[in-house]
Structure 1
Amino acid sequence: MSTDDAAQKGMFGVSGSGDTSGFGGLVRNVADPRSTPRPYGGYFDEVADLLGEGLAKADVGFEEAVTRVVVDRGELTLHVRRERIVEVCRLLRDDEGLRFELCSSVSAVDYLDAPQGNDADEQAARLHVVYHLTSMTFRRRIRLEVAVSVEDPHVPSVTSVYPTADWQERETWDMFGVLFDGHPGLTRILMPDDWDGHPQRKDYPLGGVPVEYKGAEIPPPDTRRAYR
């Protein structure tokens, strides 16, 4: 990956003298999305091994359930195939050596301009559902990610494994438009029921109205900035 590909520059899509905030000089390194080679370090190898053993007992290969293992900034992320997410969560919760009893968060990320992975299917799957799991028994944390496309944004609900995911999946549906199949009541939780669109998608229009001052007019956000 070249230096230009591995970094994003600026903020708000502003370049040149139009940016008076100073954020135009920001240079942010972008993590390489490819798999991390073994050894992962710390307890991460143990988690991967125990998960692999549990999947093998169910006659499921590790690669059939997990497409990629990434260790970045001291955090373990397992990229899980959506059809296996419930099975993986149940194993992570119930295995005696894993005991990830708590799903503390379900959210999403829209990689509109930064496709993840190297093949066409992964690059098309711009919506990533992110699960944060905590083992209170072993004081460990991991992340799971499931990637889906805007055209087919269906992910099985994990509420049967983690009841705390109920409202979190509702918020993810509301903000990102991910449909959680099997959810007991998938309705909007922040926006009105008849709201059009999902506000945290990167291509959602910012909207707004122009603000008039004496001798000046400030245009609405969607005409003056492009958020990335």
Structure 2
Amino acid sequence: MENSFLLDKLEENFPAKIQEIPDAHDLLTVIVEKEDLIEVLRFLKSSSELQFIHLTDITAVHYPHLEKEFAVVYHIHSLVHNIRIRMKVFLQGPNPEIPTATVVWKGANWMERETYDFFGVNFIGHPDLRRILNVDDMEVFPMRKEYPLEDPNRVDKKDLYFGR
């Protein structure tokens, strides 16, 4: 199975709802809207022709310079055809929300908890959305690019100490 065949199948079943992103690593990457996410995931998993039965990973990326600053990324694998697809859903606002994929894959549970824990993405309908790796009373989401990398007031980081 080729990426072009997979893209044709998606566009055939979801006209005007799939947008391809060119990728240099031969991994088909598409963008879908959050309203269409579960329908597309169910199609990929339940299609007897495609058989994308393995959810490899769910994560997020924070793009603070974009209007829709969060991208939730799904990596899905067809073990039968040995082909992968990457799906991205872009979200807006400081409290991004997206439907849970646990209705399609039970294994999405811990992946969504990790994504919530580090990026603050709220997965609507998740059976147990709470922190999984950070302490429970933590009020920030550490993978967001909202904080400076270094304290500008540190005296040991002055240029004169480094011959600049």
| TM superposition score category, shorter chain reference | 0.7 to 0.9
Structure 2, gaps ≥5 residues long: 158-164
One-letter code aligned to 1:139: N
Tell me by how many angstroms 1:107 deviates.
0.4
Distance 2:35 2:99 in 1: 7
Deviations 1:74-102 (A, max 9, x none): 22111010011111000011112211111
- The answer to whether the 8 Å contact 1:86/1:158 transfers is yes
SS of equivalent to 1:218 = helix
Q: What residue is the counterpart of 2:8 in the other structure?
A: 49
Structure having the higher Rg = 1
The 1:131/1:176 distance shift into structure 2, 3 A limit, reads same
Distance 2:119 2:74 in 1: 15
**Would you say 1:89 and 2:41 are equivalent positions?**
yes
Q: What residue is the counterpart of 1:172 in the other structure?
A: 115
Distance 1:75 1:137 in 2: 17
Structure 1, gaps ≥5 residues long: 1-41, 56-61, 116-123, 212-216, 220-228
User: What's the RMSD between the two structures over aligned residues?
Assistant: 2.0
Tell me by how many angstroms 1:50 deviates.
1.7
Distance 2:147 2:134 in 1: 14
- The answer to whether the 8 Å contact 2:52/2:78 transfers is yes
Distance 1:160 1:204 in 2: 34
Q: What residue is the counterpart of 2:62 in the other structure?
A: 110
- The answer to whether the 8 Å contact 1:77/1:144 transfers is yes
Tell me by how many angstroms 1:52 deviates.
3.0
**Aligned pair count?**
155
SS of equivalent to 1:100 = coil
Q: What residue is the counterpart of 1:154 in the other structure?
A: 97
Tell me by how many angstroms 1:206 deviates.
4.7
Distance 2:7 2:149 in 1: 41
- The normalised TM-score by structure 2 is 0.86
**Would you say 1:186 and 2:138 are equivalent positions?**
no
Deviations 1:122-173 (A, max 9, x none): xx11100000000001000010000001345010011111112111111111
- The normalised TM-score by structure 1 is 0.63
Distance 1:173 1:151 in 2: 13
Distance 1:54 1:111 in 2: 30
SS of equivalent to 1:82 = coil
Distance 1:50 1:95 in 2: 10
User: Structure 1 vs Structure 2: percent identity of aligned residues?
Assistant: 36
